[in-house]
């Protein structure tokens, strides 16, 4: 038989007494229906349970806090790279150093090609640090309507040319430019002005112009001669089986008498050969040569007899040439 001796420090009587006291308190609380005291005790219990859960999940929470701090730091760093400030500064600098000068240049170019009646203005805005320029109408009453919807096709072409030349004038380089049919849909007054503007631009850079307009080509020739600008002509034609055939001869309708005489001489030799070898084909060849001969006589009257006082495909009549 074993004998167990319980030390005084482990006596259960105090514990039992405490438990009885707490139980009595609980019974008293429930009996008194003290909702305030009950709420306090309930809150205390919830707080202790929460602290117990936090202690159990401490490592996970520390990891989440570290990740949240890192995410916040990254968000703040991203905010410092926002383009809003760049866009605002870009707009400010563009307006003071680019837009105003470019707007004035557009107005000057519109005047140079006789299109200043269109009342065009240049507006600028920056998005994500990139500045965009827009052609707009002055004092426009209706929003969301583009310039293209207001002006005619020819006027829109004139505006596009003015904007192109204005932007070209802001560049410090003198690289070559290529212009394709710049006077399409333009009337004769605008065509003459555009020819003048292109030849003027040719003083400082190479200008390559493609055009189907014989009259416009005539304007280019006349203006180049006036300003002593060297000009090289190439005629691109289509053959029976080939396209893009480049010829140093300009179209027949624009040739001078000397060029036409040379052409007639070559044609005459070919016609004689046809006459000798196949007379059935000679009639068509001879008729074509005779037509060119008549054209040459008419050109000779304009160019030589009247000294270029009046010419087809030229608007002006230069009466002072008659005295020569």
pLDDT tens digits for 116-153?
A: 777 777 776 666 656 666 777 776 555 566 777 777 88
List the chain residues with pLDDT less than 50.
1-2, 4
Give the model's pLDDT for residue 4: 47
Give the model's pLDDT for residue 318: 80
- Determine the Cα–Cα distance for residues 108 and 122; give it in Å rounded to an integer: 12
Give the model's pLDDT for residue 33: 60
- Determine the Cα–Cα distance for residues 163 and 289; give it in Å rounded to an integer: 47
Are the C-beta atoms of 161 and 194 separated by less than 8 Å? yes
Burial of 66 (0-12, 13-18, 19+ CB in 10 A): exposed
Give the model's pLDDT for residue 316: 72
The CA-atom distances, in angstroms, between 158 and each of 41, 103, 184, 217 are 87, 15, 10, 18
Place of tokens 């600098």: 93
Give the model's pLDDT for residue 200: 92
How many alpha carbons lie under 13 Å from residue 76 in its C-beta half-sphere?
6
- Determine the Cα–Cα distance for residues 303 and 311; give it in Å rounded to an integer: 8
- Determine the Cα–Cα distance for residues 283 and 197; give it in Å rounded to an integer: 46
Our CA angle for 188, 189, 194, nearest 5°, is: 95
What is the DSSP-derived secondary structure letter of residue 323? G
């Amino acid at each position: 038989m074993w004998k167990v001796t319980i030390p005084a420090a482990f006596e259960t009587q105090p514990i039992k007494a405490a438990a009885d006291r707490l139980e009595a308190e609980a019974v008293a609380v429930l009996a008194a229906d003290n909702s305030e005291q009950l709420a306090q005790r309930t809150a205390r219990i919830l707080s202790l349970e929460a602290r117990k859960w936090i202690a159990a999940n401490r490592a996970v929470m520390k990891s989440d806090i570290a990740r949240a701090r890192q995410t916040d730091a990254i968000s703040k760093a991203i905010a410092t790279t926002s383009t809003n400030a760049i866009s605002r500064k870009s707009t400010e600098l563009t307006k003071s150093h680019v837009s105003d000068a470019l707007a004035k240049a557009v107005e000057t170019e519109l005047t140079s090609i006789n299109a200043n009646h269109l009342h065009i203005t240049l507006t600028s805005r920056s998005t994500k640090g990139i500045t965009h320029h827009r052609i707009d109408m002055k004092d426009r009453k209706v929003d969301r309507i583009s310039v293209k919807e207001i002006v005619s096709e020819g006027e829109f072409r004139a505006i596009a040319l003015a904007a192109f030349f204005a932007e070209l004038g802001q560049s410090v380089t003198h690289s070559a430019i290529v212009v394709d049919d710049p006077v399409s849909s333009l009337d004769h007054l605008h065509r003459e002005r555009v020819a003048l503007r292109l030849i003027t631009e040719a003083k400082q850079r190479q200008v390559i112009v493609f055009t189907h307009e014989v009259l416009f080509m005539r304007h280019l020739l006349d203006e180049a001669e006036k300003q002593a600008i060297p000009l090289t002509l190439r005629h691109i034609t289509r053959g029976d089986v080939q396209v893009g055939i480049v010829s140093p001869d300009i179209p027949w309708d624009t040739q001078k008498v000397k060029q036409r005489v040379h052409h007639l001489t070559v044609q005459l030799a070919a016609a004689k050969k046809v006459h000798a070898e196949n007379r059935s084909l000679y009639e068509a060849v001879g008729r074509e040569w005779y037509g060119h001969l008549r054209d040459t006589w008419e050109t000779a009257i304009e160019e030589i007899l009247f000294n270029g006082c009046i010419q087809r495909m030229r608007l002006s009549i230069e009466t002072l040439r008659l005295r020569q």
